[in-house]
Structure 1
Amino acid sequence: MATAFLKMHGAGNDFAIFDARQVALAMPPERVRRLADRHRGIGCDQLIVMEPSTRADVFMRIFNPDGSESGACGNATRCVARLLGGAATIETRGGILTAANAEQGVTIDMGSPRFGWEEIPLAYAMDTADMPVAWSELERPSAVNMGNPHVIFFVADANVVPLESLGPEIEHDLIFPERVNVNIATVLNRSHIRLRVWERGAGLTLACGTGACATFAAARRRGLVDDSATISLPGGDLIIAETAGGGISMTGPVSTAYRGETDL
């Protein structure tokens, strides 16, 4: 039996979205890996399953291409919010997020960043604003949890860092018990950051919403940016801002690529 899905993306970060609010849909790791394969499946950075929620308008389950499950995905949250009409509450493993329509697309209140070493989590206690660790030329990063664990390196030129090789090495380092997303950032000025991201379980992606939020939070903590900034990723720009309550909002574009069916 064919199962319907939507292919959507936010700033090039692309998703295969399945609606399981009426009929349950199992997504074992082998099935996720097959569907996410860009040569033999649909192909996507993450596979999303919309499920019923007793606490919000929908529960969003997020699967990485390697079959692992993620706690949050900002760009996917904007896509699901658009499907629900823009204004919505969306429950994830990382918490409940609130969405609203915006001139530039959809705005998500991503909640507050967490900086405690045990909240990231790290393997042992250390200063998460200026970690005394290094991998090759990448050194003294910050660590932030935005529903997912992130490590952020501030460098002179993000484009020249060999993230294809350093990304998987850092992701799987034993200092990160749950693995980690790797962000390479260049602060262009106090309202503009250039960013590249190696996503845990997915690899290099054109954009990462939680990565943009984590990078902004780390930059604010170091006093590098003002209370809002444009984060420029390979797939496009996201607007990240500090909210009145100390949280972080993310605004960015949403696009539907196509509707399809697949035989599970």
Structure 2
Amino acid sequence: MTTAQTGGPALLTGRTALITAGASGMGRAGARLFGAHGAHVILVDVNAAGALAVAAEIEANGGSAEAHGADLCDQADLDRFVTAVKSRHEVLDVLHNHAGVTGPRGLEFDVASWNACMTLNAWVPAYLTQQLLPLLRGSDAASIINTASTAGLRGVAGLPVYSATKGAVIQFTKATALLLAPEGIRVNAICPGGTDTAGMRAAFQEGAVDASLSAIAATVPLGRVGQPEDIAAVALFLASDASKYMTGTVIPVDGGATV
């Protein structure tokens, strides 16, 4: 990518970055931004057609990308995806564990809904970190970025299961940051606040969240909800050398809402 295309120097030239749930919302915004900054982007999403479309968009803009369709909650599918990545790549510079699901509302959960939420939100990032660590060790600038949530920092009354999973992501981030620091592998987390995505709007419609975008905006000191590009910009920072002295950090990107 050129300086003109990125609005500044390309920050990820020559690097390979994997983004889960890259077909829409914050994941799509991150994939596009990583691609614009010179990374080869590996996208995976349960929406295979959506992932292919984002990869095509990145390539149409002069970048490099590949798309994989996989249901990461299905262990066999998850393993097939890991095998595919290992067969195509010897080095991975950025692992952005972004995929997540809101999960059951209130205390209306059973073992199946609890496990489904915990699997995608906590098990998948942990498993990908474990399985792709040999590829990350091949990088001289490895960065793992986990998408947590402000719900993992302060809890959301209507979403205790989701809050629990995101709290788990935060503690996994901190523990693995300590574990991998001697190898120079950085691990950080982003905690988005209310962000205007199709998934968030669907949660409102389904009654999973007792709010609206305008109601959330009214509680935010900066006076608006987040946009996917706001989260992508922080992911780019954590993926790049601009954050090379940061590990174990948990960054709220919420317009000041958790202050």
Question: Do these two structures clear the TM 0.5 threshold for a shared fold by scoring above it?
Answer: no
Q: TM-score, normalised by structure 2?
A: 0.28
Q: Higher relative contact order by CA 8 Å / sep ≥ 6: 1 or 2? A: 1
TM-score by length of 1: 0.28
Q: Which has the higher strand share?
A: 1
